[in-house]
Amino acid sequence: MDTTSRTYDVIAMGRSSIDLYSNDIGAPFEEITSFAAYVGGCPTNISVGTRRLGLRSALLTAIGDDQVGNFILHFLRREGVETQFIPRKPGRRSSAVVLGIEPPDRFPLTYYRDNCADIELTIDDVLATPIAGSRALLITGTGLSKEPSRSATLFAAEMARLAGATILLDIDFRPDQWHDQRAFGVTLRSALRLVDIVLGTEDEINAAMLTDPDQISITHSQISDARVSGDTDAAIQQLLNLGPRVLVQKRGAAGSRVHLVSGADGAMRIDVPGFPVEVKNILGAGDAFASGFLYGHINGWGWYKATRLGNACGAILVTQHGCANFMPTYNQVMTFIQDRGGF
């Protein structure tokens, strides 16, 4: 199905937040004196990241009837992300994230997502959004964590599937957003029939096949960076059996590995090297990756080159303080790649 004439290149659906990131880099959380104010949330970051690269990008999240919602909207509009489908949810609160930054490996995070607006996305909100007018739909694991967002997200994926759009799922495993961490995998596996491309870290891939909550370890309140043990290769094979044709395994500094379904002999692998940089803050790096990868995919690039662009975007972001506010532009990432020897 030729989708090039569609209004949007990508609609991202799911959570958004004000991201409050410690300005006292290296200070323990108790001693933080101020926080920078950014915008974040996996699909929100990707909507901004793809927009900065040049895609026509829309976001379907929800905000409360509060100043924080205004803050999020104001930023998105300035970035040129389409915000007209974002509903206000009376009586619900715009999400917030509070983050400590102690590089290289401590990023304690507190979510303010109780009664949050974005988990109140409904099937009616989806119907008010031109899903069929987009070439790609990006959904996330957290969007499946609670109703009504869960069924709305699946409904959007069904609509996108019917319209021949590419459906990407960012696994986005946030353990404290689930009533039972095993329910995460159960739910994700049921959604995969609707997904073309899965994006996730090794921990997230293991989480998707988790059978025992003890496989998870969270240190320093790093909800967004849980360690999950497991047989990653077996997990990848099992996930690919459930519907997707591609699974991209994000491997941090080591780059990424693309797993393709390829007939009888199982999956085919493409290893795509990363770019070595000094880590300041890992949050949002995966979303920068997704933005670059999506840019390449929408423009018909091969898996290697699209993934390599994603790696570059991710590398740039880990050197930065925040998420959406620091997504690279097309020129920035291209210069970055050229400076490091090209694709």
Nearest partner of 40 among 131, 174, 132, judged by Cα: 174
Provide, rounded to whole angstroms, the least separation between the CB of residue 169 and a copy of itself.
Answer: 13
d(CA 87, CA 45): 18
Q: Parallel, antiparallel, or unpaired for β 256-261 and 246-250? A: antiparallel
**Applying CB under 8 A, does 238 fall inside the site for a copy of itself?**
no
What is the three-class DSSP state of 93?
A: strand
Q: Which is nearer to a copy of itself, 245 or 305 (CB)?
A: 245
Provide, rounded to whole angstroms, the least separation between the CB of residue 308 and a copy of itself.
Answer: 33
d(CA 29, CA 325): 22
Give the pair of three-digit tokens for residue 169: 């799922």
**Applying CB under 8 A, does 214 fall inside the site for a copy of itself?**
no
Q: Parallel, antiparallel, or unpaired for β 166-170 and 134-140? A: parallel
Structural contact between residues 43 and 140, judged by C-beta atoms closer than 8 angstroms: yes
Structural contact between residues 306 and 143, judged by C-beta atoms closer than 8 angstroms: no
Stretch that binds a copy of itself, among 154-162, 244-252, 263-271, 287-295 (CB under 8 A): 154-162
**Applying CB under 8 A, does 154 fall inside the site for a copy of itself?**
yes
Q: Which is nearer to a copy of itself, 108 or 200 (CB)?
A: 108
Return the sign of the alpha-carbon dihedral for residues 161, 163, 164, 165: negative
Q: Which of residues 27-86 bind a copy of itself (CB under 8 A)?
A: 29-37, 66-68, 70-71, 73-75
Q: Which is nearer to a copy of itself, 145 or 307 (CB)?
A: 145
What is the three-class DSSP state of 20?
A: strand
**Applying CB under 8 A, does 107 fall inside the site for a copy of itself?**
no
Structural contact between residues 248 and 293, judged by C-beta atoms closer than 8 angstroms: yes
d(CA 333, CA 155): 34
Q: Which is nearer to a copy of itself, 180 or 278 (CB)?
A: 180
Residue found under tokens 């050197």: 319
**Applying CB under 8 A, does 155 fall inside the site for a copy of itself?**
yes
**Applying CB under 8 A, does 245 fall inside the site for a copy of itself?**
no
**Applying CB under 8 A, does 23 fall inside the site for a copy of itself?**
yes
Provide, rounded to whole angstroms, the least separation between the CB of residue 54 and a copy of itself.
Answer: 25
**Applying CB under 8 A, does 110 fall inside the site for a copy of itself?**
yes
**Applying CB under 8 A, does 179 fall inside the site for a copy of itself?**
yes
Describe the strand order of the beta sheet including 166-170 as a list of residue ranges: 57-60, 8-13, 134-140, 166-170, 197-201, 246-250, 256-261, 267-272
Q: Which of residues 247-306 bind a copy of itself (CB under 8 A)?
A: none
Structural contact between residues 155 and 163, judged by C-beta atoms closer than 8 angstroms: no
Provide, rounded to whole angstroms, the least separation between the CB of residue 154 and a copy of itself.
Answer: 5
With CB under 8 A, what is the number of residues at the site for a copy of itself? 54
Stretch that binds a copy of itself, among 25-33, 128-136, 200-208, 307-315 (CB under 8 A): 25-33
Q: Phi/psi of residue 277, each to 5°?
A: -145, 170
**Applying CB under 8 A, does 242 fall inside the site for a copy of itself?**
yes
**Applying CB under 8 A, does 105 fall inside the site for a copy of itself?**
no
Among 3, 221, 229, 237, binds a copy of itself (CB under 8 A): 221
Q: How far is CA 181 from CA 91, 215, 217, in A?
A: 28, 10, 12
Binding footprint of a copy of itself on the chain (CB under 8 A): 18, 20, 23, 29-37, 66-68, 70-71, 73-75, 93-94, 96, 98, 100, 108-110, 112, 114-116, 122-123, 146-148, 151, 154-155, 158, 179-180, 182-183, 186-187, 189-191, 193-194, 221, 242
